[in-house]
Amino acid sequence: MQTSNQKSQKNLLGIFLTGLLMIYTLLFMGCSKDPASPDDDGNKNTPRTAVPVYLTGDWQTGTISSIDFFNPVTGVFGPPSGVGMFFKFTQDGYYEKGVLLQSTLYGHTMTFFAYNKGTMTIEDSVIVLYPTYGRIKSEDNMVPENNYEKPDELDSETMLWENGTDDLGLETLWLRYPDSGYSAFHRP
C-alpha cells in the first residue's frame, strides 16, 4: 500500500513530466526555417524597429526547485533544478533569448537549453521576434536518445508587454504570449 507521501511524489512526477512535454511542444511547434551561422544575421531582411530606451538591456526570470536540492542525511547537494529565461534587447532592434529547463527527480536529470538571436519589432504593446540563428541542446542521464545538440528550427514569436514595477517596487517587464499569462522579468 502506498503512503500519501509516495502518492504525492508520483503526482508531482506526473505534473513535472506533463509540464516538460508541454514546454518541448511549445518550443518546437510551427517552426519553419533553418538557422544561419551564429556570426551571421542570416536573413538580413528580417523586420526591425527601434526599441524604447527603457526596454533595452538585459531582462531575466527564473525559479529554482527545492526537490532533491540537498540531502541532509548524506550531506550531498543534488544537481541544480529550475527554469530560467533571459532576453537582451538593443535600441537598434536586435535581441537575444535563452531558455533553461532543468529538473532532477529521483536521480533522473533532464536539461534543455535553447538559444536564439535575431531582429525585433515593437508596435504599441506588441513585440515580434524574428530569429536568424538558434541552437538547442538536450541532456538526459537516463534516456540516451534525449542527448543531442542541433540547430533550432526558427519562426517568428509574438509577445505582449507592459512595463512597471512589481509588488516589491522593482523595475519589471511583464511579457506574455497571446495565449498565456504574464511573466515578470527583472534586470539582473
Domains of the chain: which residue ranges?
A: 4-185
What confidence score (pLDDT) does residue 59 get? 95
What confidence score (pLDDT) does residue 14 get? 42
pLDDT tens digits for 62-89? 875 566 667 777 877 776 667 889 999 9
Query: Is the pTM above the cut of 0.85?
Result: no
Taking 70 as the pLDDT cut, the residues of the chain under it are 1-44, 64-69, 79-81
Beta bridge mates, 149: 137
pLDDT tens digits for 110-124? 989 889 999 999 999
What confidence score (pLDDT) does residue 52 get? 96
What confidence score (pLDDT) does residue 67 get? 63
Would you give the DSSP letter of residue 169? -
- Rounded to whole angstroms, the Cα distance separating 158 from 172 reads 19
Of 177, 179, 173, 180, nearest to 61 by C-alpha is: 173
- Rounded to whole angstroms, the Cα distance separating 78 from 86 reads 24
- Rounded to whole angstroms, the Cα distance separating 113 from 135 reads 8
